[in-house]
């Protein structure tokens, strides 16, 4: 027999009303505007864009406001919104070499063409809370330095001249990259689809896995070949015009991680690379992504599979925080019937157990007598 139980409608309505009330908080405090969020919580907004897998700062800011600052909830909202829009097509691949650079550093070369450009970084700050920010102090604009600027060369191209670093390989123009939104998950997954998955993966999860590769779970000796942050042009092919049309610019963070490689039967000793490309200013995420990308290439490079970061199924099935939170959080929803069934089972097992131990005690006593 199955008895459907209904109820809770009024409680749910009232809970949502209370949520809206608490979200707004003290009415004597001015409400946040989306401009304030996009301008002043920009890196949080970028995280919501990249893990929500939707480049739209204003929507990400709206999601953050609605989610009361719960970033995973905001990412969930953005992912849900995405499904309401039609897909018009895809862009031409963005050219990160032609980026309008806002930051570019390399840990491999001190004096590389284009130089070390620190940009707006938290690095070298003392991590001391600035009590002035309790108010709204006057802040100076960034200094400018004129003069002719060198082109900012890719680090991979520098090493490539000596043949000591793997190149990106030949491009098969007929090959379409798979799309994890439109194909059921199957392992092994192509590197293109792995990168898509990692680019929207949870920053914390990828950070922890990347960290584990440095600590010895999957041998890797990484150097930051280059990190660059800046804006790239987006072109979309319009069939009605017959050519690709510029539709604007996006900000991205790119990380080239360079790893030692002892060589294999097929390849000489050289440096290999892990790659990270993430929406917005998301340096930590791009670095973690490139570490994970490199670890996931273990099989391709003939390395022993010994640690979780090298395991495609482990990494890619668990890096999506919307999936993860959905499955973990569903546990709090009513499981009354399931639990009743298990309760009955445990009662039966307990009764059998007690009967057995009872008999065993009796037997022992009898044996002693």
Partner 1 sequence: MNIAVDQAARRDRMAVLARCSTERLNSLWAKLGLQPAHTPLRGPEAGLVMLRGRIGGTGEPFNVGEATVTRASVTLEDGSVGHAMALGRDHAKVRLSAVIDALCRNAEMAARIDAELIQPMRQELEVADETRRQQTAATRVDFFTMVRGED
**Residues of span 62-91 touching partner 1 by CB under 8 A:** 82, 85-91
CB of 169 to partner 1, least distance (A): 6
CB 3, min distance to partner 1, A: 44
Residues 300-329 that bind partner 1 (CB under 8 A): none
Taking the C-alpha atoms of residue 72 and residue 80, their distance in angstroms, rounded to an integer, is: 12
**3-class SS of residue 79:** helix
- The answer to whether residue 279 forms part of the interface with partner 1 (CB under 8 A) is yes
Beta carbon nearer to partner 1, 96 or 212: 96
The vertex-166 CA angle with 176 and 158, nearest 5°, equals: 110
Q: How far apart are CA 178 and CA 196, in angstroms?
A: 9
Residue 21 or 145: the one with the smaller Cβ distance to partner 1 is 145
| Residue 285 lies near partner 1 (rule: CB under 8 A) | no
- 197, 190 Cβ separation under 8 angstroms: no
Burial class (CB in 10 A: 0-12, 13-18, 19+), 321: buried
Considering beta carbons, is residue 190 or 340 the nearer one to partner 1? 190
CB of 6 to partner 1, least distance (A): 38
How near is the Cβ of 249 to partner 1 at its closest, in Å? 6
Which residues are registered as beta bridge partners of 253?
Answer: 229, 278
- Rounded CA separation 277/252 (Å): 7
Decide the pairing of beta strands 222-238 and 270-279.
unpaired
Burial of 346 (0-12, 13-18, 19+ CB in 10 A): exposed
With binding defined as CB under 8 A, does residue 143 bind partner 1? yes
Residue 273 or 284 having the CB closest to partner 1:
273
Q: Give the C-alpha separation, 330 to 344, whole Å.
A: 23
Task: Closer to partner 1 by CB, 41 or 193: give it.
Answer: 193
Using CB under 8 A as the binding rule, the residues of this chain from 21 to 40 that contact partner 1 are none
Least distance from C-beta 122 to partner 1, angstroms? 13
- What minimum distance in Å lies between the beta carbon of 10 and partner 1? 36
Give, as ranges, the residues between 149 and 188 that touch partner 1 (CB under 8 A): 149, 154, 156, 167-169, 171-172, 175, 177-180
Alpha-carbon distance of 45 to 31, in angstroms, equals: 18
What SS3 string covers 288-330?
A: HHHHHHHHCCCCCCCCCCCCHHHCHHHHHHHCCHHHHHHHHHH
What is the C-alpha to C-alpha distance for residues 16 and 5, in angstroms, rounded to an integer?
21
State the Cα–Cα distance between residues 271 and 103, nearest whole angstrom.
Answer: 24
Nearer to partner 1, 129 or 241 (CB): 241
How far apart are CB 213 and partner 1 at their closest, in Å? Answer: 18
Signed CA dihedral, 53, 59, 60, 64: sign only:
negative
* Residues listed for the chain: 369
Number of residues that bind partner 1 (CB under 8 A): 81
What is each CA distance from 323 to 67, 170, 184, 315, 318, in whole angstroms?
17, 35, 14, 13, 8
Please state the closest distance from residue 349 (CB atom) to partner 1, in A: 49
Interface pattern 186-215 for partner 1 (x via CB under 8 A): -----xxx-xx--xx---------------
Residues numbered 217 to 276 that lie near partner 1 (CB under 8 A) are 233-234, 236, 238, 240-241, 243, 245-250, 252, 254, 256, 273, 275
Task: CB nearer to partner 1: give 250 or 301.
Answer: 250
- If the CB atoms of residues 35 and 92 are measured against partner 1, the closer one turns out to be 92
CA gap 299, 191 in Å, rounded:
12
Compute the least distance from the CB of residue 170 to partner 1, in Å: 9
Q: Shortest distance, CB of residue 56 to partner 1, whole angstroms?
A: 4
Which CB atom, from 22 or from 87, has the smaller least distance to partner 1? 87
Residue 20 found at the interface with partner 1 (CB under 8 A)? no
Which residues, 102 to 131, sit near partner 1 by CB under 8 A?
Answer: 102-103, 110-111, 115-120
């Amino acid at each position: 027999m199955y008895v459907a139980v209904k109820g809770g409608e009024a409680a749910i309505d009232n809970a949502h009303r209370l949520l809206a009330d608490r979200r707004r908080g003290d009415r004597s405090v001015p409400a946040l505007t989306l401009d304030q969020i996009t301008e002043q919580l920009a890196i949080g907004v970028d995280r919501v864009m990249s893990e929500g897998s939707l480049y739209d700062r204003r929507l990400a800011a709206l999601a953050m406001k609605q989610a009361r600052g719960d970033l995973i909830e905001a990412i969930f909202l953005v992912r849900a919104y995405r499904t309401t829009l039609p897909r018009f097509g895809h862009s031409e691949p963005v050219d990160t070499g032609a980026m309008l650079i806002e930051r570019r550093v390399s840990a491999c070369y001190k004096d590389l063409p284009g130089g070390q450009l620190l940009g707006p970084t938290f690095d070298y700050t003392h991590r001391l809370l600035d009590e002035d920010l309790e108010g709204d102090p006057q802040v100076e604009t960034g200094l400018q330095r004129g003069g002719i600027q060198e082109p900012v060369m890719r680090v991979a191209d520098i090493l490539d001249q000596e043949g000591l670093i793997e190149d990106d390989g030949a491009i098969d123009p007929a090959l379409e990259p798979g799309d994890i939104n439109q194909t059921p998950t199957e392992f092994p997954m192509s590197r293109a689809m792995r990168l898509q998955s990692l680019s929207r993966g949870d920053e914390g999860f990828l950070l922890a896995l990347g960290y584990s590769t440095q600590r010895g779970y999957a041998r890797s000796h990484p150097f930051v070949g280059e990190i660059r942050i800046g804006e790239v042009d987006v072109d979309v092919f319009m069939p009605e015009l017959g050519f690709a049309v510029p539709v604007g610019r996006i900000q991205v963070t790119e990380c080239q991680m360079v790893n030692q490689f002892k060589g294999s039967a097929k390849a000489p000793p050289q440096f290999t690379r892990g790659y990270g490309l993430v929406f917005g200013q998301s340096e930590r995420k791009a670095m973690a992504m490139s570490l994970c990308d490199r670890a996931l290439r273990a099989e391709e490079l003939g390395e022993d599979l010994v640690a979780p970061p090298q395991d495609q199924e482990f990494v890619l099935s668990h890096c999506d925080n919307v999936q993860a939170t959905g499955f973990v959080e569903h546990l709090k929803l009513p499981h009354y019937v399931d639990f009743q069934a298990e309760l009955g089972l445990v009662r039966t097992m307990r009764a059998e157990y007690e009967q057995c131990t009872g008999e065993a005690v009796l037997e022992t006593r009898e044996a002693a007598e």
